[in-house]
Amino acid sequence: MKVTVFGSGYVGLVTGACFAEAGNHVVCVDIDAGKVARLQAGEIPIHEPGLDVMVKRNFDKGRLKFTTDAEEGIQHGLFQFIAVGTPPEEDGSADLSHVLAVAETIGRHMTEYRIVVDKSTVPVGTADKVRERIEQALGERGARFEFDVVSNPEFLKEGAAINDFMKPDRVVVGTDNPRTAELLKTLYDPFTRSRDRMIVMDVRSAELTKYAANAMLATKISFMNEIANLAERMGADIEKVRVGIGSDPRIGYSFIYPGAGYGGSCFPKDVKALVHSAGEHNFDAQLLRAVEAVNKNQKQVVYRKMHDYFGGKLKGKTVALWGLAFKPNTDDMREAPARELMEALWAAGATVRAYDPVAMGEAERIYGQRDDLKLVADAEAALDGADALAIITEWQEFRSPDFDTIRDKLSNPVIFDGRNIYDPGLVKSFGLQYFGIGRHSWK
């Protein structure tokens, strides 16, 4: 089948590559000529395991094409996927300008029936705005062509996006047209053959499903962090509590790991957008506001532990930081807890020696060259001249370190574990002090 994807960022590139992998002919359209040139040269702008190989394979076979020519893309695909960014506005609302710009472009250039698919995460009612914008552009041309607007939200986890797309838990399709639903079922059949995973519903329900899913996961994280902070004050161990409640199948173990707060491009943005949408409908989303407030507080927990440990005297201290990305297997630092920690340490006069397996380039892009940030080649190098160690991202390579080396290199033998990846008793046995999240402090 012929597919066009507008936007070659995270969602658009994964979507285009995976559709091409199934044998479809895909054209990815992007207004950034530099990005298109890099993609044509085989350079992938994001870190996602397996994506570079998949893009190259399908590009070489002629099934995946990158272009800045929107008209070419509109003429190419029966399916017109909109996968452009919806960054948050100052008030937390989603910026739909890029989505609606694509809709207008489709209306200006379409010459036959098209299925326009909202893949971007957008507020409820966006499909109506996309339809209106296309109809307006067609009207200005004096043209009339049939088209459908569908909601097909993505549920991709950064670091596991290829697997999520190729073997989805579910494919949500919002449409009131049975024919359109069948066409999308045909497009997604290669990914859902083991059993029917397509869930068809009305458009507005599909749009809300995406926000509701991310808000639920964010809620689980904030709830667990709230209980962790309580456990710490009560002398309980949150990791034992986690196992105790996770064994209940009604709760499960997913997303109940306490830590330094959630980040990334989805949870923070989507919770804010849903709170804002609720306000537009005269509803106070109290729980969601609390989820957001708890997460904002949680991102300061590791810094506060350091502040208390050093008696508020952080000026002139050097902190080794393991992990910069908001989670493992990605270089994404948007809303990352590591950023909050570093910026708080800098404000207190401390220096950071940081290492991350893949996010070093992203950190340099964000912060540039500065005297109080040293980006080093490996985890051990971060310890050189450091007064303390903080772990903020639970990369696999951090899980079994040489504790003797850590103790010997640090001026103060102390670990601040923002992801609870170590056993406190084990760390203490090596002569190190340990501060985790929701656990006994071992001094």
- How far is Cα 157 from Cα 255, in angstroms, rounded to an integer? 13
- How far is Cα 394 from Cα 321, in angstroms, rounded to an integer? 12
Angle (deg, nearest 10), helices 51-60 and 10-21:
50
18 is catalytic: no
Amino acid at 153: P
SS3 state of residue 6: strand
Distances (CA, A) of 234 to 121, 368, 440: 40, 42, 9
Q: In this structure, how many other beta carbons lie within 10 angstroms of the beta carbon of residue 37?
A: 12
Q: Collect all residues with Cβ–Cβ distance below 8 Å to 311 and sequence separation of at least 6.
A: none
3, 51, 266, 274: the active-site residue: 266
| DSSP codes, 332-344 | --TT-HHHHHHHH
Torsion angle of the four alpha carbons 207, 208, 214, 217, in this order, in degrees rounded to the nearest 10: -150
Q: Which pairs count as long-range contacts for 361-365, CB under 8 Å and 24+ apart, including other chains?
A: 361/331, 362/324, 362/325, 362/331, 362/332, 362/333, 363/324, 363/333
Query: Residues with catalytic annotation?
Result: 266
